Amino acid sequence: MKKTVQDYIRTIPDFPHEGIMFRDVTTLFADPRGFRMAIDQMLHPYAGLQIDKVVGLEARGFILGGAIAHQLSVGFVPIRKKGKLPGATIEQSYTLEYGEAIVELHDDAIKAGEKILLVDDLLATGGTAEAGIKLVEQLGGEIISCAFVIDLPDLGGRKRLEGMGMEVQALCAFDGD
């Protein structure tokens, strides 16, 4: 039986809190066939489209985004947690289930009019992705799409991003949280 990307993802119950089913992509990344399959499938919808840079959200978005940028022969730009980037930055706060967080982007990382693919491993509520989109747009970049390995549709992230006018791609979905 042929494996799918979802087959490579391990589920860990009650992590980081009781009642949470954690979708662990490290098992996908560790398997060479699974990792290549994920990168190839994430690239497929964008064949022939102009993409100037790939933006990855900390931290697993760096792994995926770096590999995708390499395959596309374009630059990679990290969006990091506050205080991790050494140069001049812009920042965007977003809400978490337990409070607020801030992500940053170098203020010279994106030029006005550049076509950007935003990448992360998992789409849950969409808060981090929304913050990343706002940062890219603040610098004049145009998000052509948001690509994820996993969508958790019950948490509403896809609807949130699509409500902002974003195209959303995900390789697989898991019910629940």
Report helix angle 60-72 to 32-43, nearest 10. 70
Among candidates 80, 81, 103, which has minimal Cα distance to 92?
103
pLDDT given at position 176: 75
**pLDDT score for 177:** 61
Which domains are present in the chain?
49-173 (3.40.50.2020)
Positions in the chain short of pLDDT 50:
none
Instruction: Return the active site residues.
Output: 60, 97
Tokens for 53? 């840079």
DSSP state of 125: S
> Residues near 160 by Cβ (< 8 Å), separated by ≥ 6?
125, 126, 130
Q: In what order do the strands lie in the sheet with 75-81?
A: 89-96, 99-106, 75-81, 53-57, 115-123, 142-151, 168-173
